[in-house]
A = this chain, B = another copy of it.
Amino acid sequence: MTGKRNGICEIITIGDELLIGQVINTNASWMGEQLSLSGLQLKRVTSIGDNNQQILDALHDAVTRAEFVFITGGLGPTADDITKPALCEFFGTQLVYNEEAFQQVKALFQRRGMEVSDRNKAQAMLPENCHPVQNENGTAPGMWFEKDSAVIVSMPGVPFEMKAMFENQVIPKVMAMVNKGHILHKTIMTNGIGESSLADIIKDWEQALPINFKLAYLPQPGMVRLRLSGSGIDRNELEQTMNTLVTKLIPLISDYVFGYDNDTLEEIVGDLLKKSNKTIGTAESCTGGYLAHLITSISGSSAYFRGSVIAYANEIKTSALRVNESDIAKYGAVSKEVVEAMAIGLQKKFNVNYALATSGVAGPDGGTPEKPVGTIWIALATDKGVQSEKFQFGEHRGRNIRRSALSALNMLRIELLKVM
C-alpha cells in the first residue's frame, strides 16, 4: 500500500444494453452522487459493451488517470458475462476457487432456503490476486484489486446488489485510504427567469466567487437550477463560505428562488398549503389537467387539493365555471377577463381557499397575430380577490403546458408566502 490518495475516481460500466439505449445508466449517476457526497472526485465515466478488448482498453486507460476505478456489470452466471476473464487477462492471473466467496454465496442461499447449484459454485472462482467483496443481495461477489498505485473494484451491474456493496463496503474502505478535503454543493431552484437573464443579474456576484467555488447553470423547461460547488480542506470554513455566498446571492434573485437541492414546486406549494391549512382547486383550459396532475403527484395531497374542472370547451367554461358567454365573445377565451372568471367560478363552486386558472394557446395550432402560440393567461383567486398575469412562452406544446403549470404554482407560492 502506497501513501494516502487524493480520491480521484473513474467508473467503467460494462454492458451492450447500455450502449443500445435499452437500459439507462442509472448506476453511474447513483455512484457519482455517492462519490460526490463523500467528497471524492469522479473524473470520468466510460460505458462500453460486453467485449474483452474494450474492457482491457478501458481499464488500461483508467488506471493511468485515476486512483480508484469502479467497474460494474458483466459478473452474472450467464454466458454473456465476460468481466472476470478480462480481469484475469489484465492482471496476468487466473481464476482460482475462493473459499471465502463460496461461504458467502452458500450463506445467502441458506437464508433463502435454496440449494447451491454448480452454476453458483462457479461464481466462487475468482482471479487469484483479488479480495472478494461480499454481495449481500446476490450470488456474484465483488472483487477488490490493488495494482501499483491503483485500486480496481469490480461489482455486479444489478442496481440493488451494487448499491448495497458500494455503500456498505466499498466507500468506507476507499475513505480510509484517502487524504482528502471536502466538497460541498448547494443547488438553488429558480422559476420565472431564463438562464441568460439570471446570468446578467448575478454577474458581479459570480465574478467575485472564490477560486475554489464553481457555479453551474442547469436549465430545464420552466426552471433554471443554479448549482454552487466548493472544495477545500476545512469543512467548517467551506460551510461558512457557502452560507455567506448563498446569503449574498438570494436577495439578488429572491423573486425567482422557490427552493433548494431536490425541492420541487409542487412539494413546496403542498407544504405551504398544509402549514397554512388552506385548500386548493384548479380550473384549467390550456394545461388540460397537467396542473392538477402535478399537485396530486405528491403523496398526501388530498389534505389540501379538493378538485378541478378542466374546461377545454367554451360551453364548459360557461356551464361549469359560470364564465359569461359575452366575455368569451368579447375578449376571447385567452384573456384576462375569462381566466379570472374561471378562477373565481372554481373557487366558489368547489369551496376552496385558492383557485388557479389557466387559459392559453398551447400550440402548435390556434395562434393568431394578436395571440400567438405560447400566449398564456394565469389567474389566482384568493379570499381577497383575483389576480392574473400574461406569459409569452415558446412554440412547443408540451413545454408550454409544463411552463404554464409551473408558473401557476409559483404564483400561488408567492401568495402563500405573503400571508404566512
Residues of A bordering B, CB below 8 Å: 15-26, 28-36, 42-50, 54, 58, 61, 76-80, 111-113, 117, 119-120, 137, 158, 160, 185, 187, 195-196, 199-200, 206, 214-219, 221, 227, 229, 282, 284, 287-293, 295-297, 299-302, 305-313, 315-316, 320, 349-351, 363-365, 372, 374, 392, 394-399, 401
Contacts and interface: CB of A to CB of B under 8 A. Distances in A.
B29 A18 contact: yes
A10 to B, nearest CB: 10
Contacts of A160: 221, 396, 399
Given A43-B49, A292-B310, A307-B312, A21 B31 contact: yes
19 contacts: A19-B43, A25-B25, A43-B48, A44-B47, A44-B58, A76-B195, A77-B196, A78-B199, A79-B206, A282-B310, A289-B290, A289-B291, A292-B310, A297-B398, A300-B365, A301-B312, A302-B312, A307-B320, A316-B350
Contacts of A26: 24
B36 A44 contact: no
Nearest to A374: B112
Nearest to A394: B112
Given A160-B221, A289-B310, A296-B310, 17 more contacts: A16-B214, A16-B216, A17-B216, A19-B43, A22-B218, A44-B46, A44-B58, A50-B216, A77-B199, A137-B396, A289-B290, A290-B296, A299-B397, A302-B312, A309-B320, A320-B320, A320-B350
B302 A320 contact: no
- Interface-centre pick from A187, A216, A398 (highest chain B CB count, 10 A): A216
A349 to B, nearest CB: 7
A195 B196 CA distance: 46
A256 to B, nearest CB: 15
Given A24-B26, A46-B46, A196-B117, A349 B320 contact: yes
- Interface-centre pick from A302, A305, A374 (highest chain B CB count, 10 A): A302
Contacts of A46: 44-47
A111 B395 contact: yes
Contacts of A351: 315
- How many copies of this chain sit in the oligomeric assembly? 2
A229 B16 contact: yes
B24 A29 contact: yes
Nearest to A261: B22
A360 to B, nearest CB: 12
Contact of A19 (B45, B291, B297): B45
A28 B29 contact: no
A80 B20 contact: no
10 A-B pairs closest in CB distance: A21-B33, A288-B296, A289-B292, A289-B289, A308-B310, A20-B36, A45-B47, A21-B32, A307-B316, A289-B293
Given A29-B21, A295-B288, A214 B80 contact: yes
Contact of A78 (B196, B293, B305): B196
Nearest to A9: B19
A88 to B, nearest CB: 22
A196 B316 contact: no
A42 B20 CA distance: 7
Nearest to A13: B45
A30 B25 contact: no
Contacts of A137: 396
Nearest to A311: B307
B45 A33 contact: no
Contacts of A302: 312-313
Given A293-B288, A308-B308, A396-B137, A196 B227 contact: no
Contact of A296 (B36, B43, B312, B374): B312
A137 B395 CA distance: 9
Contacts of A363: 299
A362 to B, nearest CB: 8
